[in-house]
């Protein structure tokens, strides 16, 4: 049986345009075109539908309501919003029920790609495969016990740098790893640091906390995965530092920083068993041979995002962190439609743009419009640039 796709838009010319775009796929897909939300809901009550693609702005019953009813009537369906300019209220309602978003205007390649990705998710439960993968790894990275002990000490509000250094110094292997990282080119310090107390004094409690987490989680990888692990760790440290500059709400700042540190931990998991294949996927992505999601799904059956969220759930860490990891590429729907997830997306993207790209792009280039909606931030991100400029300059080893 061909998969059934329902398209909903109150503008007849848009429906005609979509029909024309997808004409060559009519033998693969059973496509229905509804001119109103009312007609779409009637079909959802009557017939099986695999994918619902709805315009957001429609009279009487808008796209958010169509997808809400689709979720109730056919919870198996993949729900996609075609979004142009819309109100913040409508956008917030949409992110709670939509799986994917496609901005107007769009071309046939973009529409076909998002449909094919949605169909792939129907045939293979990537999250389930990721949990199986995590469960099959004999020596998982352990939950970062020292990190959470350190966090509890810092939350008491009375601990100074000396107390923090004393706690960390109880683990000689951790001390060695932290000193190795602190004295690496990443920090560009003007002098060699040889004691953990000096490292704590120089870097401060929050950065030491990040380094403890990084060393705890990423320290046990195989030698052949060293380059991948170093990249993941460096990216996480940078993103966490940027997050602390961006997030002003005390209740969000540290959970977001933790999610930023762990956002690519799924790549570490894959590297534990599939180092060579992961390297091939990374090379194919760098060469422009496909998007990372499709390449990883084709190679492993799931993505590093799925694997990372599965590990964090396995550890029993707060779901706010696993949801933030799951949404850090801008998939801010469902459980990931929260401020902590949006901040994690913004900070991890800023770290990648600012530190790991050579094209000179703005640090916030490519931030999902949904992040601006969720955070209530202006789309020019001027305040974000001002807040993070000293951090990014410091991380680059420049003078702020």
**Which tens digit of pLDDT belongs to each residue from 114-151?**
888 777 656 556 676 776 666 556 455 655 667 777 77
Decide: helix, strand or coil at residue 79.
Answer: strand
Where does residue 117 rank: exposed (0-12), middle (13-18), buried (19+ CB within 10 A)?
middle
Contact residues for 8 (Cβ-Cβ < 8 A; gap 6+): 34, 36, 37, 39, 40, 52, 53, 54, 55, 58, 63, 66
C-alpha–C-alpha distance, residues 78 and 56, integer Å: 16
C-alpha–C-alpha distance, residues 225 and 235, integer Å: 16
Decide: helix, strand or coil at residue 102.
Answer: strand
Structure tokens at 151: 């966090």
Structure tokens at 209: 């906390």
| Sequence spans of domains, the chain | 4-123, 220-395
E strand or H helix at 240 = helix 226-246
pLDDT (tens digit per residue) in 293-316 = 888 888 888 889 988 888 777 666
Residue range 4-123 forms a domain whose CATH class is alpha beta
Tell me whether domains 4-123 and 220-395 share a fold. Answer: no
220-395: in CATH 1.10.3210.10: yes
Structure tokens at 345: 């997306």
Question: By C-alpha distance, which of 267, 251, 264 is closest to 325?
Answer: 264
Q: Going residue by residue through the chain (400 aa), what tens digit of pLDDT does each one get?
A: 788 999 999 999 999 999 999 999 989 999 999 999 999 999 999 998 989 999 988 889 988 899 888 888 887 788 888 876 555 556 556 666 777 777 777 788 888 888 887 776 565 566 767 766 665 564 556 556 677 777 777 776 667 888 888 887 776 666 766 776 677 655 666 677 777 788 888 778 777 777 777 766 666 566 666 777 777 878 888 898 899 899 998 888 878 888 898 898 888 888 877 888 888 888 888 888 877 888 888 888 888 998 888 877 766 667 888 889 989 998 888 878 899 999 999 999 999 888 777 666 788 988 998 899 899 888 888 899 999 998 888 877 653 4
């Amino acid at each position: 049986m061909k998969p059934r796709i329902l398209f909903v838009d109150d503008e007849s010319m848009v429906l005609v345009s979509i029909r024309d775009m997808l004409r060559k796929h009519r033998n693969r897909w059973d496509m229905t075109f509804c001119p109103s939300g009312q007609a779409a809901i009637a079909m959802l009550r009557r017939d099986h539908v695999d994918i619902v693609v709805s315009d957001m702005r429609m009279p009487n019953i808008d796209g958010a309501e169509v997808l809400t009813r689709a979720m109730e009537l056919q919870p198996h369906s993949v729900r996609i919003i075609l979004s142009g300019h819309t109100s913040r209220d409508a956008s917030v309602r949409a992110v709670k029920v939509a799986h994917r978003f496609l901005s107007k205007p769009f071309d046939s390649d973009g529409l076909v790609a998002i449909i094919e990705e949605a169909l792939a998710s129907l045939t293979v439960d990537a999250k389930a495969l990721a949990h199986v993968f995590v469960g099959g790894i004999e020596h998982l990275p352990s939950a970062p016990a020292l990190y959470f002990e350190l966090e509890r000490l810092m939350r008491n509000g009375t601990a100074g740098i000396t107390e923090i250094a004393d706690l960390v110094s109880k683990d000689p292997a951790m001390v060695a790893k932290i000193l190795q990282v602190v004295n690496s080119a990443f920090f560009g310090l003007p002098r060699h640091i040889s004691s953990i107390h000096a490292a704590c004094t120089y870097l401060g409690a929050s950065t030491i906390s990040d380094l403890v987490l990084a060393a705890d989680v990423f320290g046990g990888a195989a030698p052949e995965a060293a380059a991948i692990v170093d990249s993941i760790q460096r990216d996480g440290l940078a993103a966490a530092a940027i997050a602390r500059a961006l997030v002003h709400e005390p209740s969000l700042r540290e959970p977001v920083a933790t999610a930023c540190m762990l956002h690519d931990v799924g790549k570490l998991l894959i590297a534990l068993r599939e180092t060579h294949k992961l390297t091939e996927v990374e090379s194919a992505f760098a060469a422009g041979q496909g998007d990372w999601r499709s390449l990883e799904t084709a190679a492993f059956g799931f993505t590093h995002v799925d694997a990372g969220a599965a590990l964090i759930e396995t550890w029993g860490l707060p779901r706010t962190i696993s949801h933030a990891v799951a949404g850090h590429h801008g998939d801010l729907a469902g459980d990931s439609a929260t401020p902590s997830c949006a901040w994690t997306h913004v900070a991890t993207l800023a770290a990648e743009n600012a530190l790991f790209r050579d094209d000179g792009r703005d640090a916030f280039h490519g931030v999902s419009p949904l992040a601006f909606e969720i955070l209530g931030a202006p789309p020019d991100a001027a305040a974000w640039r001002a807040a993070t400029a000293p951090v990014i300059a410091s991380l680059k080893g420049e003078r702020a």
